[in-house]
A and B are shown apart, each in its own frame.
Chain A
């Protein structure tokens, strides 16, 4: 076997080039000792992307192993393109969340759009039809000069892609905080539906089977995108523009329909989309999962530009491309269905039994302009294992963050007029209506959106499950949540709170949580205090997922979210998929009947304001004593509310989260323009403003018909959940006795214009 060669014009690999590609000196040494030779230029490119943080999870793998990933409902756990949970009758919900943070900061429209495109492909690659998307966004301070441009671009990009391909964007969340000034977060989630027996996996099975490339042609966009996603930003960030990919949602729509038709023919043995690290990671990961090798003929790669080198073809992140492993002799069926949808398809390689990733290409041959004749040489010949299991794995040093003054309990000065304060708070960008955002998303396409954005704590979608017995309708609830401020003050409890809020939101619309996907956005793992935050957050996620029966089935890690050494708030975003037994169990967040009783479920607030929006606005920093969480109490609360929803004893349910109790009540009033007359949940020790604005978790405000009071109290008692009657739905004002009396009109006006200052 000849030693892999460089292409004409490519330099010999060296420690300096390795460093440029993001590898450390000791990683270069490791390559030399494993291969017993220097890698070719293309090989170094391949190794560097596969060993990047983004592809190898080298700093996070040792910690991710602590997450609970099993349960009777889990059909597919982490390790595939997406995870899956059972939704009954032989069907499953397939879902995942992914970050596209760095590209979105550089070019917000395309960065966000291709983030949506990537997560959609992850889901339909599994053989599932995507049915709904969510997104979780973080921007810098509202008044930061870049924030309007970034917000508008990201929202337009998400809409531009999702609206065109026809998958409804039904919910999400957004937060503004100074820590994201130079490093925004764009986390995109998609769920799809598949028959469990028909799931497809990214495996290159069957030695001799042809590898078929389907979809868009390869260009130079996104080269080294995975490496960029694994580095901090600095002043030279603007020069990274060529590493941002450009999306074509129309091409993806064709790819989606063609793939689902091809999958139905049973002529494939494996498939994987070309996402981060493109052709390289898709082939290597498929070979790895099957314990096989792959040989690629790079001369056959469809291309849209001339003079592409092997290095460029292997590392390009051009969008809307799939790699399929066909069963030998069934290639023609793939080609015919691709032709029906006007898609290019070419055989670009074979599955081998060598366990090696081998690529051949011809110097001087260019099918784009017809130069030269194919006479390929070997340019890459690497053990698959070196790129996957044997990739570096680090247990990086951790340093507990020093106790600081910022963690001291503080209640701030009581505002003069709590009514005015509530009207002001509910109109602030972190609390007010997000309708400016979700109106730009087609949230109703596919005739399935039962609870729309703003109507409930989670979105509820109807999905259609077709099999030989006909069509069944099933109902899923989905939510995405995290509040990095609480994670910053206490990484363990804050991460647990993200899981608790997300599952609570799903329960509040009447669904049982089935599984969770995470998107772990953190700073530089080589900084011990950041690594400590990450490790503690993993422990918090693990504890909460176990306590609340939401196993992790898929996920993504995004590290190095720093600019010029300043890290973002630790942001372990989670998204949960739940299922309603019956659509009649569904609950909105708004008070809906005059005369209904209003009650508080869960332990009353202690008045701890740490990390709350109110205190951040008051002090200008993320500060105060952490609020903490009791996961047993949370689990009991969720069980009680699910029982209440299933017994149809409630008119509405809305959990207390950002902004606290008073904001929760006000939102329930604004939804259908009903007033309320209530008292504060009993606590004589804390000042009223602390009780109104504390963001302590594990509390839900419900409304119910007076006739159901006895049964509701009985169910709460059975679950050991404190129940306190607060008042009634009445009139056109929110009256908190002895505290404030504000008109719903004033609250609604403030709420509905919360983003105006940024977007107009």
Chain B
């Protein structure tokens, strides 16, 4: 499996993604610099976390105009799997590849800690099964997912909600800080309609090794590998 990890100016979890995919999973992975015009012969693309262009203007807003973006758009257009993590999720919504928007956390602070998620639908990155509870870390200031009522209905209708925040036992947050940022409908990640593009605020690539105390994030990448037929 070949994976391009896109490097925007200000990407800072690019190493985390490369390490998880290349060194832990064993895939052939490389950095695709934002000034390049191609993601090469990648089987999948990861847009990592960070503060692309300093998150000036809006998180992810300027990255949407980098040279590499048209090749990501083209890759996604022909069904190639794309995973946007944290700032990568923000970039995918700014690019229009995913619906909705990410706004400032409800409590207005950056928040870094472990949270729990329920897998809401199966897809290339989520073959672990609907209802699976995952513990993953978050680290963001702008992770509050927002969409209109109609947008939400459409997400539900098309089964695009990938993850929802839950309590450790898998119950809905019900207004508690189990939803760490005030996201609408407790949404932590969404697929596009075709389900080849996934954006999520939690960091699976930072929870993919025993030494870090958590390997649950690796299940997204092994799911991708199976989806692509590499095992």
Does B54 lie within 8 Å of A166, measured CB to CB? no
The answer to whether A442 and B205 touch across the interface, beta carbons within 8 angstroms, is no
State whether A447 and B54 are in contact (beta carbons under 8 Å apart), knowing that A163-B139, A253-B9, A439-B113 are contacts in the complex.
no
Task: Please indicate the chain B residues that have their CB under 8 angstroms from the CB of A159 in the complex.
Answer: 110
Q: Does A281 contact B (CB under 8 A)?
A: no
Does A444 touch B at the CB level, under 8 Å?
Answer: yes
User: Is B56 within 8 A of A447, CB to CB?
Assistant: no
List of B residues within 8 angstroms of A342 by Cβ: 9
B159 within 8 A of A: no
Would you call B19 and A164 a contact (CB within 8 A)? no
Contact B211 A156 (CB under 8 A): no
Q: How far is the CB of B61 from chain A (nearest CB, A)?
A: 13
Closest residue on chain B to residue A438 by CB atoms: B112
A442 and B9 within 8 A (CB): no
Task: Name the contact of B19 in the complex, choosing from A248, A441, A442, A447 (C-beta under 8 A).
Answer: A447
* A443 is an interface residue with CB less than 8 A from chain B: yes
Q: Which of A323-375 contact B (CB under 8 A)?
A: 340-342
Q: Per-residue CB proximity of B7-27 to A under 8 Å, as 1/0?
A: 001101101100110010000
The reply to whether A341 and B206 contact each other, CB–CB distance below 8 Å, is no
- Digitize A579-592: 1 where CB-to-B-CB distance is under 8 Å, 0 elsewhere: 00001000000000
Q: Which of B9, B112, B212 has the largest count of A CB atoms less than 10 A from its CB?
A: B112
Q: Which residues of B contact A164 (CB under 8 A)?
A: 10, 12, 51, 54-55
Given the known inter-chain contacts A249-B54, A442-B112, please indicate yes or no for A165 contacting B12, CB distance below 8 A: yes
Across-interface contacts of B53 in A (CB, < 8 A): 250
Residue of B nearest to A447 (CB): B16
A454 CB to nearest B CB, Å: 11
In the assembled complex, which residues on chain A have CB atoms less than 8 Å from the CB atom of B209? Answer: 447
A260 partner residues in chain B, CB cutoff 8 A: none
CB-CB under 8 A from B141, the residues of chain A are 163
Q: Tell me the smallest distance from the CB of B139 to a CB of chain A, in Å.
A: 4
Query: Distance in Å from the Cβ of A737 to the closest Cβ of chain B?
Result: 34
Q: Which residues of B contact A166 (CB under 8 A)?
A: 12-13, 50-51
A446 interface hit (Cβ, 8 Å): yes
Is A54 on the interface with B (CB-CB < 8 A)? no
Q: Assess whether A444 is in contact with B139, with CB atoms less than 8 Å apart.
A: yes
A residues 433-478 in Cβ contact with B at 8 Å: 435, 438-447, 449-450, 462, 464, 471
Q: Encode A229-265 as 1/0 by CB contact (under 8 A) with B.
A: 0000000000000000000111101100000000000
Q: Is the CB of B20 within 8 A of A250?
A: no
- Which listed residue, A248, A440, A443, touches B109 by the CB 8 Å rule? A440
Whole-angstrom CA separation of A450 from B211 in the bound complex: 6
With a cutoff of 8 Å between Cβ atoms, the chain B residues found around residue A438 in the complex are 112
Cβ of B35 within 8 Å of any chain A Cβ, yes or no, is yes
Q: Is B122 an interface residue (CB 8 A)?
A: no
Please provide the chain B residues from 89 to 146 with a CB less than 8 Å away from any CB of chain A in the complex: 109-113, 137, 139, 141
Cβ–Cβ contact B109 & A156, under 8 A = yes
Contacts of A341 in B (CB 8 A): 9
Instruction: Write the nearest CB–CB distance from A409 to chain B, whole angstroms.
Output: 44
Among residues of A, the one whose C-beta sits closest to the C-beta of B113 is: A439
Q: Are B13 and A445 in contact, CB atoms less than 8 angstroms apart?
A: yes
Q: With A164-B54, A248-B54 in contact, is A440–B112 under 8 Å at CB?
A: yes
Q: Which of A156, A447, A464 contacts B206 (CB 8 A)?
A: A447
Q: What are the residues of chain B within 8 A of A340 when measuring CB–CB?
A: 35
Q: How far is the CB of B87 from chain A (nearest CB, A)?
A: 10
CB pair A250 B112 closer than 8 Å: no
Bound-complex Cα distance A471 to B211 (A): 16
Once the chains are docked, how many angstroms separate the CA of A524 from the CA of B10?
41
A contacts with B: majority SS: mixed
By the criterion CB–CB under 8 Å, are A447 and B9 in contact?
A: no
| Other-chain residue from B13, B111, B212 in contact with A449 (beta carbon distance below 8 A) | B212
> A440 and B205 in contact (CB under 8 A), knowing A254-B9, A449-B212, A583-B211?
no
**Partner pick for A442 among B55, B56, B110, B212, CB 8 A cutoff:** B110
CA distance A435 to B111 in the complex (A): 10
Chain A residue numbers with a CB within 8 Å of B137 are: 444
Residues of A within 8 A of B12 (CB): 164-166, 253, 445
Residues 162-179 of chain A: 1 if any B CB is under 8 Å from the residue's CB, otherwise 0?
Answer: 011110000000000000
* Complex alpha-carbon distance, A184 and B141, angstroms: 26
* A152-163 to B contact mask, C-beta < 8 Å, 1/0: 000010011001
Task: Determine whether the beta carbon of A250 is less than 8 Å from that of B51.
Answer: yes
- Among residues of A, the one whose C-beta sits closest to the C-beta of B18 is A447
- Known A-B contacts A442-B110, A445-B139, A462-B211; the reply to A250 vs B10 at CB < 8 A is yes
Q: Say whether B110 contacts A447, CB under 8 Å.
A: no
Given contacts A341-B9, A447-B20, contact A439 B51 (CB under 8 A): no
A166 to B16, CA, bound (A): 11
Which residues from 195 to 229 on chain B have a C-beta closer than 8 Å to any C-beta of chain A?
203, 205-206, 209, 211-213
**Per-position 1/0 for B134-167, Cβ under 8 A of A:** 0001010100000000000000000000000000
Task: Please determine whether B10 and A253 come into contact, CB atoms closer than 8 angstroms.
Answer: yes
Contact between B9 and A249, CB atoms less than 8 A apart:
no
Q: Are A450 and B112 in contact (CB-based, < 8 A)?
A: no
- A439-B19 CB under 8 A given contacts A445-B12, A583-B211: no
Among B12, B15, B205, B213, residue most surrounded by chain A Cβ atoms (within 10 Å) = B12
Q: Which residues of B contact A446 (CB under 8 A)?
A: 15-16
A346 to B203, CA, bound (A): 40
Chain A neighbourhood of B113, CB < 8 A: 435, 439
Q: How far is the CA of A537 from the CA of B111 in the complex (A)?
A: 38
Tell me the complex Cα distance, A254–B54, Å: 10
Across-interface contacts of B23 in A (CB, < 8 A): 471
For the complex, what is the distance from the CA of A639 to the CA of B19, rounded to whole Å?
35
In the complex, chain B residues whose CB is within 8 Å of the CB of A442 = 110, 112, 139
A163-B139, A341-B9, A440-B112 known; A447 and B15 CB under 8 Å?
Answer: yes
**Closest-CB distance, A224 to chain B (whole angstroms):** 28
Most buried by B among A165, A250, A341, A447: A447
**A449: B residues at CB distance < 8 A:** 212
Q: Is the CB of A443 within 8 A of B212?
A: no
CB < 8 Å neighbour of B112 from A253, A254, A443, A462: A443
Interface positions of A (Cβ within 8 A of B): 156, 159-160, 163-166, 248-251, 253-254, 340-342, 435, 438-447, 449-450, 462, 464, 471, 583
Pick 29 A–B contacts, CB within 8 A, sort by A.
Answer: A156-B109, A159-B110, A163-B110, A163-B112, A163-B139, A166-B12, A166-B13, A166-B50, A166-B51, A249-B51, A250-B55, A253-B9, A253-B10, A340-B35, A438-B112, A439-B112, A440-B109, A440-B110, A440-B111, A440-B112, A442-B112, A442-B139, A444-B112, A444-B137, A447-B15, A447-B205, A450-B212, A464-B19, A471-B23
Interface of B with A (CB < 8 Å)?
A: 9-10, 12-13, 15-16, 19-20, 23, 35, 49-51, 53-56, 109-113, 137, 139, 141, 203, 205-206, 209, 211-213
Given A250-B56, A253-B12, A444-B203, list of 17 further CB < 8 A pairs? A163-B110, A163-B141, A164-B54, A164-B55, A166-B12, A249-B54, A250-B9, A250-B10, A250-B51, A250-B53, A340-B35, A439-B111, A440-B111, A444-B206, A445-B206, A447-B15, A447-B20
**Interface pairs A-B: 10 shortest CB-CB:** A166-B12, A250-B54, A442-B139, A164-B51, A447-B16, A440-B110, A159-B110, A442-B112, A447-B19, A444-B206
